[in-house]
Amino acid sequence: MNQTRGLALLSAPLGVLLVVLGGCQVSPLNTSAEPALRRSLADMIRRELLEPTERPQRQITVQETTQEDFIAEFDLGEFEDKIMSMAGPDSYAEAFGSLSMAGNFFGEAHEVVGLGLEEAVGLALDQNLQVQFARVSPSINAAEVAEAEAAFDWVFFTSIQYQDSETPIVDRSTAGFGLGGDFRRTTDVAWTAGIRRLTTAGGQLTLQQELGYNDADERGLSLTPNPANRAALTAQYDQPLLRNFGSNVALAQVRIARNAERAAVANLKSELNRIVTDTERAYWNLVRAYYDLMILERLTQRGRTVLGQVEARRDFDVNRAQIANAAARVRDRQSDLWRARNAVRVASDRLKTLINRPDLPVTSEVLILPMDLPLAEPIEFSLADAVISALDERPEITQAILSIDDTTIRQVVAENARLAQLDLRVQARFQSLEDDFRTAEATVLDRTFFDASIGLFYEIPIGYRAGEAVFRRRTLERMQSVLSFENTTQQVLLEVKNSLNNLETNFKLIEQEKLNRIAQAENLRVLEVRKENLQGGYSIEQLETELNQQERLSNAERDEIQALVDYAVSLAESHQAMGTTLKRNRVEFVVPAVEK
């Protein structure tokens, strides 16, 4: 059963890959490398997917030890409420958002504005400047497609020329009789108009009309008609037969431009995935910064309490050095508290940059208060599904395949350029000559004067050095694009695997850090109870032990918050690695309408 499903999973990305590669341009002159290329790429994908597709079972992230088991194992049940109130995320519920941030740059108290994660992601998708920049790129590339296609539009051309000349002529006397004079004076006006266009086969079709007026004067001769009016219609077709022949060459720039447009759309999707992930990461880092501030603020308050108790024993068993040591430790905590306040401001400004909310410019001293907190919810995943999703959804894969197509197109053009130039020209021309324009135009198609011609033009470079060099370069570029595709695929799959490893590890760390925090809180609780119940008072050594334990508890709290944040971030990164960031946030990616 698993093998059958594995084969089905394996065939999906291979089918997609081969269909896409099927759209690549293949040289009609040298196709021997194509089967090897397809086999190489297919083998690479098959090799990477072999083990995951053989074991497609889904897994659920699990905790090794739960809080309930830990509480029961160490018989902490009767003290659980007290322990939970001393430390941990839930113990800061009332303090969250009401912290002392000192003054802002204007000497005033910081204002805060609440923001949920979903709203932050929505703002980033709509307002982020990098996203807006990326949205313009498909329209730019669409204009380039239109520009490339315009090469095959009809082109109107016209010209008019006036000439007045006196031309000396040779003596044409015969047997004593003069034949004309020794010069001719002519006035000639010529007007040409027509249309032409390139064809997708590489040729050019030209249709043109010519009208002319000629007035000649030569002594001793009578010219009829004079002045004369001439008209002509010409149809001409030029077609390369070797070099530059065929749609593979003629449409090369159009196909490359279309690939660039598709690559721009893929880049836009990649940019959206990145910005959403960066926004989630910045949001959770802001949450961590707030928790760090609350934890350090509580630690500082506890340290001040102990410092007061130390100073109270000044005349009993405490010397100046011990008081100075306790005061220094409190000052260290105060320094950390200032750093934490700055970290909140920096994290808030970073999130402002990403969401680009109009009423929250970067220079605003209003702080963003995150309204959502990280949760430790288990997830179900499968390595096989993850890597297949990445191959199907990651825009980087699409861009790598388009790069192969581009280099293939250029290779085809370069291979064609190695041929000799052999061009065919076919022309048909109807002419008339009358004493007025109307008659000339009316009789031009009477076949009174009809010319037809056909010609071949041949040219070949001696040595073929330029053509061979370009073809060799394009062939190597294509090899590079294939290697780049394999490298991109490998890096994508590596990101998927790393993200799942991080996801599973961070989920386990959450519970471990939580249990460590509970143990450290219990240790501090016991120290405080002993101090309160100790007959005969407490010693300076006991107070120093309490200071040490406070710091260990604070570090355990910060590690727990870091594990929660890391898990939330790794979840976002795993979806980015699989290319499903937009789907996860219920955002439908619609290819933007472009103006052509």
pLDDT at position 424 is: 95
**What pairs with residue 457 in β-bridges?**
423
**Nearest by Cα to 592 from 121, 131, 147:** 131
pLDDT at position 20 is: 43
Gap between the Cα atoms of 355 and 431, Å rounded: 72
Q: What is the mean pLDDT of residues 552-572?
A: 95
Q: What is the mean pLDDT of residues 308-314?
A: 83
Q: What is the mean pLDDT of residues 324-342?
A: 91
Gap between the Cα atoms of 255 and 411, Å rounded: 13
Identify the DSSP state of 512. Answer: H
pLDDT at position 567 is: 95
Q: Between 3 and 235, whose confidence is greater? A: 235
Most confident option among 53-62, 215-224, 275-284: 275-284
Torsion angles phi and psi, residue 380, rounded to 5: -110, 135
Percentage of residues in the chain with pLDDT exceeding 70? 85
User: If DSSP codes are grouped into helix, strand and coil, which group holds residue 583?
Assistant: helix
pLDDT digits (tens, 9 = 90+) for 347-399: 999 999 999 999 999 988 889 999 998 888 888 888 888 988 999 999 999 99
> Quick check: 297 pLDDT over 60?
yes
pLDDT at position 170 is: 64
pLDDT digits (tens, 9 = 90+) for 197-232: 999 999 999 999 999 888 887 766 677 778 888 888
Residue 474, token pair as written in the block: 């394009």
**Centroid of chain to Cα 419:** 39
Query: 533, exposed or middle or buried, with CB in 10 Å at 0-12, 13-18, 19+?
Result: exposed
**Nearest by Cα to 348 from 592, 97, 66:** 97
Grade residue 328 by pLDDT with cuts at 50, 70 and 90. very high
Parallel, antiparallel or unpaired: strands 367-370 and 228-240: unpaired
Gap between the Cα atoms of 293 and 342, Å rounded: 9
**What pairs with residue 229 in β-bridges?**
213, 434
Grade residue 173 by pLDDT with cuts at 50, 70 and 90. low
Least confident of 40-49, 50-59, 199-208: 50-59
Q: What is the mean pLDDT of residues 535-550?
A: 79
> In degrees, to the nearest 5, what angle opens at C-alpha 587 toward C-alphas 582 and 589?
80
**Centroid of chain to Cα 305:** 54
Q: Which residue carries 């079972």 as its tokens?
A: 57
pLDDT at position 68 is: 74
**Which residues, other chains included, contact 536 with Cβ-Cβ below 8 Å and sequence gap of 6+?**
none
> In degrees, to the nearest 5, what angle opens at C-alpha 120 toward C-alphas 115 and 121?
155
Residue 222, token pair as written in the block: 């009578």
Gap between the Cα atoms of 513 and 535, Å rounded: 35
Q: Which residue carries 């995320």 as its tokens?
A: 89
- The pTM of the full predicted model, rounded to 2 decimals, is 0.82
Gap between the Cα atoms of 389 and 496, Å rounded: 10
Q: Which residue carries 């970290």 as its tokens?
A: 343
Q: Between 73 and 402, whose confidence is greater? A: 402
Least confident of 62-76, 521-535, 557-571: 62-76
**Nearest by Cα to 555 from 347, 348, 333:** 333
**Nearest by Cα to 418 from 456, 458, 461, 457:** 461
**Nearest by Cα to 538 from 244, 306, 232, 204:** 306
The number of C-alpha atoms within 13 Å of 113 and in the hemisphere containing its C-beta is 14
> Quick check: 589 pLDDT over 80?
yes
Number of residues that make up the chain? 596
Let me know: does 136 contact 264? Beta carbons within 8 Å: no
pLDDT digits (tens, 9 = 90+) for 421-463: 999 999 999 988 787 777 777 777 776 788 899 999 999 988 7
Gap between the Cα atoms of 218 and 240, Å rounded: 46
Buried b (16+ CB within 10 A) or exposed e, 441-475: bebbeeeeeeeeeeeeeeeeeeeeeebeebbeebb
pLDDT at position 204 is: 96
Q: Between 170 and 415, whose confidence is greater? A: 415
pLDDT at position 251 is: 94
**Centroid of chain to Cα 166:** 69
pLDDT at position 209 is: 92
pLDDT at position 24 is: 45
- Complete DSSP assignment for 119-182: HHHHHHHHH-HHHHHHHHHHHHHHHHHHHHHGGGS-EEEEEEEEEEEEEE-----BTTB--S-S
**Nearest by Cα to 260 from 249, 248, 252:** 252
Grade residue 288 by pLDDT with cuts at 50, 70 and 90. very high
Gap between the Cα atoms of 78 and 35, Å rounded: 73
pLDDT at position 4 is: 41
Q: Which residue carries 């807006």 as its tokens?
A: 132
Least confident of 216-220, 311-315, 459-463, 509-513: 216-220
Grade residue 12 by pLDDT with cuts at 50, 70 and 90. very low
What is Dmax (Cα atoms) for the chain? 158
pLDDT at position 27 is: 39
Amino acid identity of residue 51, one-letter, is E
> Quick check: 488 pLDDT over 50?
yes
pLDDT digits (tens, 9 = 90+) for 244-275: 999 999 999 999 999 999 999 999 999 999 99
**Which residues, other chains included, contact 44 with Cβ-Cβ below 8 Å and sequence gap of 6+?**
486, 489
The number of C-alpha atoms within 13 Å of 315 and in the hemisphere containing its C-beta is 0
